[in-house]
Amino acid sequence: MFVPSMLLKQLYTHGSLCRTSQGVRFMLKNRLKDATIQSLNWIALDGKRIDEDKIYLEISPEEILSFTEFNQKGEVSFDLKQVLTVHLHLDESVSPEKRKVGISFKASPFGKLKFEVEDNVSEETSDKTQIPRDNHDDYEEGIIGKRQRYFENFTKGKVNHVGKYSIDPQQLKGNIEHFIGVAQVPMGIAGPLIIDGEHAKGEFVVPLATTEGTLVASYNRGMKLLNMSGGVKSTVVDDAMQRAPVFVFSDARGARDFAKWVQDNIATIREHAEGTSSVAKLTYIDHFLSNKFAFLRFNYKTGDAAGQNMVGRATFAACGWILDNYQGIENFYLESNFATDKKASQINIMRTRGKRVTAEATIKREHLLSVMRVDPKQIDYHGRVAGVGSFLSGVNNTGLHSPNGITAMFIATGQDVANVSESSAGILYSELTEEGDLYLSLTIPSLIVATYGGGTGIGTQRECLELMDCYGRDRAYKFAEIVGAVALAGEISLASAISSSDWVSSHEQYGRNR
């Protein structure tokens, strides 16, 4: 398996080359995929190979092997995110000058690998004011307890509720660092909500984690109203996740020619990108030219994962091949801020980021009058007035509060809550039917959700997804349809409350923690 040199160098942990009591050491961390090391060929410093009897490898705090013992072992597990510490029994001085560290080894499924990086030898820190951590197992109870005591001593307080949890800390690798406990957020349920989706069909009760009074009650009221008129039709209409590198040239003509070359070679670029993942599929590459810069926007489908890290790794591999095969690139950055990760943006509204979901319903006039005490004409008129306010303020959402329900569901189900920034965009549309009923439609153009990977597999988060039959593979579209339908329920509930002047009284009754 070919691994671009840029990607291979990511195995080395920069800043880890430190002087110790026995010599120097540096760390390797698997940032590619699960692997096994079959043999270590050599390690070099400044181009000179180190004597084998001076090389030791720390697989875990309990197991340190010599070069010979390591190779005699046959195969050593090197799983994704696993750390391997290399100890060199050399007398090297601390210096700011860069040193060249080289290593060659054979690993499955990659084959023979070698790379060289630059780092300087620094002093190994023993600062007791630093947060305690263990490079090889930072999630065992002993180190967690040390961090809790460190926090208590530093703050002169007490870790109480935070330190009480039911999850296995060992399952949190890749989710959090310096773990000390959990934040408990109150959770309520709303529903059932009838959904007519292509993937989500039937009635769903949804968990909402929030500390905002009236939120659960408001969404529940909206669901009741929608059910009376047959529920919500919810549809995923597009799916894309991006990484957007930028390439710098000497002039605009160079950037233009490069963009054409990329399109001509997209098949090979796709091969290198998709080689890093069994899930990521590169669908197309947009290019945007400005000054002497070529901004590329790689668009992927990422299955049931949100996929930001997945597409970052895939794009990095693709760019490694591009840099090796195209002359004239003066500079390169993997992310140009054009993917707008964790930021609301117009390009996401237009081109989709995550899942593009539309939820729609036709609500009977008599149901609006009986449940919400409001006529469809009032809501429709208020929507047009609010549209002027949306235009004047420049917001990314013509609706009322779809991020409320989205955030509450994100917290409950282990989504990356910072993705609410992109997912906050919404396009709300209404019209009166000839019968005097209200048609309401909400499009969420950049809803970033996952049902597998990330935080979705942790304790309560996984449990909430499982309770909706939304955990695991082939569930992401289903979950997106549910989120879209729930957001629509919140829109009609609050729109009715504002149009009928019931908003303030509801908050007085339910939303004040006196």
Catalytic residues: 212, 416, 507
Question: What single-letter DSSP state applies at residue 12?
Answer: B
Asked if residue 444 lies in contact with residue 360, where contact means CB atoms within 8 angstroms, the answer is no
In whole angstroms, what is the distance from residue 158 CA to residue 167 CA?
Answer: 21
Q: Which among 269, 259, 320 has a CA at the least distance from the CA of 294?
A: 259
In whole angstroms, what is the distance from residue 170 CA to residue 210 CA?
Answer: 27
Q: For strands 99-108 and 122-123, give the pairing.
A: unpaired
In whole angstroms, what is the distance from residue 33 CA to residue 81 CA?
Answer: 8
Coil, strand, or helix at residue 404? helix
In whole angstroms, what is the distance from residue 102 CA to residue 104 CA?
Answer: 7
Burial class (CB in 10 A: 0-12, 13-18, 19+), 459: middle
In whole angstroms, what is the distance from residue 375 CA to residue 499 CA?
Answer: 9
> What is the CB neighbour count within 10 angstroms for residue 455?
21
Q: Please give the full DSSP string across 416-444, using - where no structure is assigned.
A: -GGGHHHHT-BEEEEEE-TTS-EEEEEEE
In whole angstroms, what is the distance from residue 267 CA to residue 230 CA?
Answer: 46
Q: Please give the full DSSP string across 461-489, using - where no structure is assigned.
A: HHHHHHHTT--STT-HHHHHHHHHHHHHH
SS (H, E, C) 315-329: HHHHHHHHHHHCCCC
> What is the CB neighbour count within 10 angstroms for residue 305?
22
C-alpha distance from residue 453 to each of 178, 309, 461 (Å): 20, 11, 11
* Residues whose CB is less than 8 angstroms from the CB of residue 343 and which lie 6 or more positions away in sequence, other chains included: 421, 422
Token look-up 């660092």 returns: 177
In whole angstroms, what is the distance from residue 342 CA to residue 339 CA?
Answer: 9
Asked if residue 342 lies in contact with residue 419, where contact means CB atoms within 8 angstroms, the answer is yes
Altogether, the residues listed in the chain come to a count of: 514
b/e sequence 418-429, b meaning 16+ C-beta within 10 Å: ebbbbbbbbbbe
End-to-end Cα distance, the chain: 63
In whole angstroms, what is the distance from residue 471 CA to residue 448 CA?
Answer: 15
In whole angstroms, what is the distance from residue 114 CA to residue 257 CA?
Answer: 33
